[in-house]
Every structure is written in structure tokens, then in C-alpha cells.
Structure 1
């Protein structure tokens, strides 16, 4: 077990956290189907956190990817051999979102129900956040749900949202689930935002490249020019790691710490909230944190 990292001792006081679950965590690489083991493990950890008095909000991706797989499967079952030989047209992304969303939330609801945890679905678009009354009502609703130990599960309503209508305020732009998580961190006054991905954190270069090192605590002045980003992950998420870093730094600068880590790591959430040194930390007071103890690998 990793020992407690004094730079992360602040997590002991975190009472409201947002967990952003990436598509590559929700689905399996080999066939795009739901990764039941990982999602189930996440739900079990959330149950333990809720029972310990921590308020948990989930922002989940995966609806578009799941809808795409379901629509392709439907086409295969309902198309003649002659038509299957023709070039395949790609399903519309909004149609994929509409088809996949119900399955995604049903899975979360089923798993949480088996654990005796209540959950709720909240679909939002960038247009919603232009309305101050909506934002106030959203916060009231989230507060009410959390007070009843209900886990709010957010997702961008991709079926009807458009990038051209993105919402922007205080440097934050809402146009995908990553930026939605960042915006919610400010709106609901979260104490910590966690991005769960298919990598252990931010590396100095793509993780598989020789010499690549995990950055344990991100220092903008030191790392912003040093990090070399690779290609976006599978399923074509809009932002990729470079965009996540931009979002994480913006959220941290606004006063909400961010940790990027792997959703494949067993008990990742519990380890983070024990203060173990996993993933990459973004914190407004980076300099003072690093003065407490030097990082073992120089990063």
C-alpha cells in the first residue's frame, strides 16, 4: 500500500467530490461493450464513500460509444447480405447518444440499486447554463439529492446539444463531459474533481514511449512546455489528454483541486481519498505543496 502523501493531506477534508468517468473506463477496448467489472467496482467505492459521509457526483461519458455499438449491431441483424456488402455509413452521433443514454443510465441505476444506493439522472446542455435561474435551480436540486444521499449522475445531452452553442464563463467552456464536470465543480462548490481515464495520469510524453515519466504534481511553469501529447484515445473523445490538462489547470486555478488517474486501478477512489500518491495532482498552491516534500522522480 502506498503511504500517505503529505502534499495530498487536504483530501481528508474533502466532503463533496465530482468523479468524471471516461468512455474508455465505461467500455471495453476489445468490443466496446460495457465494462461491468470496472463500473461495478466504481459503484461499490461510491457506496462506501457515501456511507462515510462524502457527497459524490458522477459525470459519465459512454452514451455515444454505446449507442454506436448498438446501432451497428441492429444494422447487422436487420440488413440483407447484399446490403452488408455495401460501404457502411456511420450512424449520426446524436442518434448514437439518444440510443446509448438509456442503456448507460439503466446500468448505473441497476448496479447502484443492487448496492442499496439511490441514483438520479441529470441531462444538461450548454444552452441550459445561459439561464441563471436554471443554474440556481440545478444547484438546489443537486444539494437536495446529496442531502438525501442520492448520487446525481450527469451527462451532456448529446442528442440535442451542439458545439456551436457552447457555454462560456470565467474561462470555462462547456462543450463536452470533461468541461461539464469542470463547470459543475464551480457551480456546486466541489472540494475535489477526479478524472478517471485509461492511463495512470499525465506523463511527460505518451506513456509507452521510452523515458516517459508520470508527473505526480503538475507545475504549470515547469511542465506546460515539457509535456509531449500523443494521439487521442480510442472512441475519439473530443478533448484528449491535452484538453483535460487545460481544463484541470483552469479548475485548479479557480480553487478546486483536480486529480487525473486511472479508472482501471483497483480501489482508485478510496486510495485517492486516503491521500495516496496516485495519478497527477493539479492544485492552486502547487509551489507550497512541493515544498513539503520533494517528488521521488523529479516531477
Structure 2
């Protein structure tokens, strides 16, 4: 029986308008909707007076203008980046030029070794002023942010925990509206599964993803995501029980409820799952494991 993830897709908002979500958190949503960004990139502002901005978003003048309007009379002291996809980090540069704030992130895209990605593509130009590490603490005026390295969606993905409100900004690692695309080579399913399990050790009351609404039943939601990934691997096993198979054949069998135009993204996800199963020794290929390989159960 397929695992049901309790997705939430209802979200009332207005593009370019700063919405107060809690006493310490505001959000401005960029008008860059797509099959991978949902309604668009939600840029978060934390604190009052001296603030941090999380995921400034795409290189879009209207969105940067909306952010500056929302920040009028305040000082931006930190620009925090969850990861380097082009719907998250490119606006960091103009925001930095306008405010003088430093950028903080885990590192360049793909460790500086690759410039490709799925979703909105990789932002190969971004290099943080301050390179973060797991368990770092970022101190602001009236707010404290804990850095949690959560590789998987990308190797440089981090989540940011706001201590004062016990909330976690989850970027694309955990989203309420959809599962996360894990696309090799920089996306890694083994790392992603470990990063999901890592979140179960924390007791955050609310998750704020960069796309879509908040998640309030945090641990059950993460547990459902983990179960969903195991269910996908069960589907791969079922496909391969009938004999060796290529990934496009598996996608047709596994994603019958997904439009054909999204099958290439689904194929990347299946490939990520299979690479994980190759690593665990459960699945083998007819040569080096790639998207065109013929796979079978060992």
C-alpha cells in the first residue's frame, strides 16, 4: 500500500507583500511559480530592526524591490542561504550590494566542481562571505540561529533553526506541498535519507519551507517522508522482480499518476534511489551505474 504523505497545498498570499507569520518572522513571496517552486520562492525575514534574510530568491528586480520595501528603516545584518539553486540564492548579490550585509552559506554549488542542477538550476556564481559548518550558531540582535547541515537535495543544503521561536527554516529539504527532488550527481539519496533521520533528533514545533505553507506536525511529517522513500524503493524492487529493467520503464510503472512532462524529473529521482540501492549492495547494473544502465536485483 502506497504511503500517504500529509501534504498541505493551501496558501493564501499576495506576491511582493510582506506577511507577518509570527512575532519574529515575516515572508515575501517571489513571483516565480513553476512545477518545482510551487507558488514561488518564500523569502523569510527574521527579527526586527536588525534582521536576517533567508533565501533572497531569484535574480528578479521586482522581488528585490519588494524585499527592500519590506525592510525599510531596518538593517540587514545577515543573508542566509539554504542552498545554491537559482530560485534561492542569486538575489543575495544585489541584496548584499544594497544593504552591505554578509552572505552565509555552506559553500559554493557542488563544492565548486559542477554547475548543473535540476529545479531552477545551479547558482554557480554564489560563494558565501562566511562559510558555515554543521552546528554553527549565528547570533543576531534579539535572535539566534542554529545551522543544521542537511545534504541530499544538494550537498551544500542547510536548515536554519530559530531558537527564540523553536522553528526551523527547511529550504527544500522538507516541503509541505511536495516531496523533494533529489537529482544526482550533487543530489544524493543516501545523504538525503540520513538528513531526514537527523531532523527526528530535534523538537522544532514548526517548519517553514522556502516553498509552500508551514508544517506543524513536524516529526510525523518527516517520518511520512522517510516511509515514502522506502515505498519508492519497494516499487523499484517490484519492478526488478520481473527481470532486468531500464529506468524509463520503471518510471512508467511507478508514476502512473504523474504527468508525462514530469517523468524526466521522476527518472532523476528513481536514479537517485537506485544509486542508494547500488551502494547498499541490493541492486546491480550491467556496467557503471548511470541513467541508461540496465538494472537488476542481486
Q: TM-score, normalised on structure 1?
A: 0.32
* Higher RCO (C-alpha under 8 Å, 6+ residues apart): 1
Of Structure 1 and Structure 2, the greater helix share is in 1
